Chains A and B, each alone.
Chain A
Amino acid sequence: MDFDLSDEQRLLKESVDRLILDQYQFQQRNKYMTEPGGFSAAMWSRFAEQGLLGLPFPEALGGFGGGAIETMIVTEAFGRGLVVEPYFATVILAGGLLRRAADPALLALLVPQITAGKLKLAFGHVERHSRYDLANVTTTARKDGAEFVLNGGKSVVLHGDAADKILLTARISGAQMDRAGIGLFLLDAGAPGLSRRGYPTQDGLRAAEITLHDVRATVLSDAALPLIEHAVDEAIAALCAEAVGTMQAMHDLTLEYLKTRKQFGRPIGSFQVLQHRSVDMLVALEQARSMAMFAAVMAAEENPVERRRAIAAAKVQIGRSGRHIGQEAVQLHGGIGMTMEYSVGHYFKRMTMIDQLYGDADQHLASLARLGGLFGATG
């Protein structure tokens, strides 16, 4: 039992931390957001050069061969930097799906393009009334020869406007909420009949509404839900780590502010009421960090129930700690925390949106409760 990083992981951490420190100060990040597509093409190339875009792919395909711990290291640093590039959508989410669903020939074709920064991906699954239920799918896939014909649409597809190819779910058979009959499809963004409308999200990232009208596509998996659930659980673990980076940044900023902001002739951090609230932020942060580590370790668990319990528990902790730390960080900063020009509000917004992604705290709490909780009934 240890929490140490291997030498290789330590090197990865040093290089990513350095990248964020040098290239991802708050002002730099704001500049990246104004570039075409809402992120920095130069930074995307930089990620490719440092091997980050190949992080979860096998070394045989030119990837880094990393697992959930490597992902945790990278996304935690990205959380501190409030990274706006489509890393989560392309590498974590779509990467996780492709690793599980694509055949070797397709992987051999796509992975080198992804790692070189030449292929961006997105995953569409949200529909108007699906909320967080991955099995709730009304978009249809009708078999036509070797291909399928897709009709319907997907909402809030993260980085769906920047993606060159789009993965999405469509129902091949069954009723709207059946677990069976869900296919995972890979579409060219320019496929005839596919239209999309991109827009900014609250946290400075991008998303798109996608509509499908008689779009022809090949299926990656026609019983895709279990593999999608595993990929999404891995993605949640990555989000948890990103959230820890975000919370750490808010905690650090707030602490610094308490030490430097003076009122009534002394630093406001000398007031006990603010000290105690700051301690409660630290407690929330450390609890979240612990659960993000737990999620990273459990993300690879093949038993879906055990994995689900752990990931659900982690997402609840992250959601609750994140909301507490975010609200307190703004409050303790006072007026400056309310402004667009200062960073803390942007961390708060990213943290808030992380809770809204892939199930909020309430939804995961209900899910964990249905599974009987984390600890057994007999000690």
Chain B
Amino acid sequence: MDLNFTDEERAFREEARRFFRTAVPESIRAKVAEGEGLTRDDMITSQRILNQHGWATPNWPVEWGGKAWSPVQVYLYQDEMQQANVPAPIPFNVSMVGPVIAQFASQEVKQRFLPMTANADIFWCQGFSEPGSGSDLASLRTRAERNGEKYIVNGQKIWTTLAQYADWIFCLVRTDTTAKQQEGISFLLIDMKTPGITVRPIITIDGGREVNEVFFDNVEVPAENLVGQENKGWDYAKFLLGNERTGIARVGASKAKIARIKELAAIERSGDLPLIEDPKFREKLAAVEIELKALEMTQLRVVADERKLEKGRQNPASSILKLKGSVIQQQLTELVMEVVGPYAMPFQRDFDGRNEPVVGPEYATEAAPMYFNYRKVSIYGGSNEIQRNIIAKAILGL
């Protein structure tokens, strides 16, 4: 047992640290640190910088720009990126649709989409959830009927993150209403400019606009935009959701947040003392730090194990990464809000950005919205209750 990284791995960590902290503009990283929303341009700029360096799509097959990194390198890449407050490459592009296209689509579709997806020349969004199909995703009803060389799509998606920025949407659609639920679903790529698509914002409790409803009214989609085979979409969706198991813990991002909390709590005061010296506050913070350290160790155990597992098999410990990682992220946003005290109160923006002059310290403005916003992390990507169902079944055999 040895927790030290090899010389090569340490050098790689250094290279990643230097790159992330010098190549990606400070203005973008500061927004991430403070929990401020990024603009579409910010995300594209950041991803293109990564892509020019060959680091936007390390998880893809090598022939499409992947790096074939070891699990440890992937871990270090994510850890350094998150600690530097560099935005992750657009997840819909890089973690979701890219790998599905690379794995299942025709050569033509790959050539058409993958390079543009890597460089964020296309901004993707994900059309999975529907009003009646959340945790029970396979019950989805958005219909795609084949008509010659086209599909005609009708229905509605919801919780579509950043649909307002998106050029394209990848959708799960029902192509066979007679088959078993999971066997009548297809994976379809749809240009957001197609007539019949309407995007309507959903404003979340933090006041932000991240998610949307997307309506499809007789939308005509060329049949060549089908990924893989018709009615096999559920398999592709499962493949998509099974990717990215370790990054989901977001340990590096939580480390960055702890560092920020310590900085801010040294500025804010509690009576005669900086807040960071208030025993009660620092014990609360230390308690979260311990959970995070344990999670980091758990993640490293998973990473070390991935080297030995045949692809697709899952280390039981990996299942707790999302459960625990989401709760830790939420606890830290609570602490940020507590640090700023009464300056959590002013509501200083509507969904398009700030609409009031800043009240109090600049860093306080996002504290409460970030806390409210982060309640999502135990809901999206399969709620923590669904994660428990999965663990109970797959790991505990209950």
Report which A residues bind B (CB closer than 8 A).
Answer: 1-5, 69, 255, 258-259, 269-270, 272, 274-276, 278-280, 282-283, 286-288, 290-291, 293-294, 296-297, 313, 316-317, 365-366, 368-370, 372-379
Contacts and interface: CB of A to CB of B under 8 A. Distances in A.
A379 B32 CA distance: 14
User: Which of A4, A270, A313 has the most C-beta atoms of chain B within 10 angstroms of its own C-beta?
Assistant: A313
Contact of B285 (A259, A283, A370, A373): A373
Given A5-B1, A375-B289, A279 B282 contact: no
6 contacts: A1-B6, A1-B9, A276-B389, A278-B392, A374-B289, A375-B289
Contact of A286 (B5, B262, B320): B320
The 5 closest A-B CB pairs, nearest first, are: A290-B297, A275-B392, A377-B262, A287-B294, A369-B282
Given A276-B389, A368-B289, 11 more contacts: A1-B9, A4-B304, A69-B1, A269-B398, A278-B392, A279-B396, A280-B388, A365-B287, A372-B282, A373-B258, A373-B285
Contacts, number: 148
A94 B32 CA distance: 51
Contacts of A378: 259, 263
Nearest to B303: A1
A374 B304 contact: no
Contact of B397 (A259, A286, A365, A372): A259
Q: Is the interface of B mostly helix, strand, loop or mixed?
A: helix
A39 B327 CA distance: 44
B291 interface: yes
Contacts of A258: 398
Nearest to A277: B388
B84 A374 contact: no
Contacts of B300: 1, 3
B101 to A, nearest CB: 33
B290 A275 contact: no
Interface of B: 1-6, 9, 72, 83-85, 255-256, 258-259, 262-263, 266, 279, 282-283, 285-287, 289-295, 297-298, 300-301, 303-305, 316-317, 320, 323-324, 385, 388-389, 391-392, 395-398
A327 B153 CA distance: 53
A135 B194 CA distance: 75
Contacts of B283: 365-366, 369
B297 A368 contact: no
A283 B320 contact: yes
B307 to A, nearest CB: 8
Contacts of B262: 373, 375-377
B1 A291 contact: no
A256 to B, nearest CB: 10
B294 A291 contact: yes
Contact of B301 (A3, A69, A275, A373): A3
B320 A316 contact: no
B388 A374 contact: no
A377 B297 contact: no
Contact of B290 (A1, A270, A313): A313
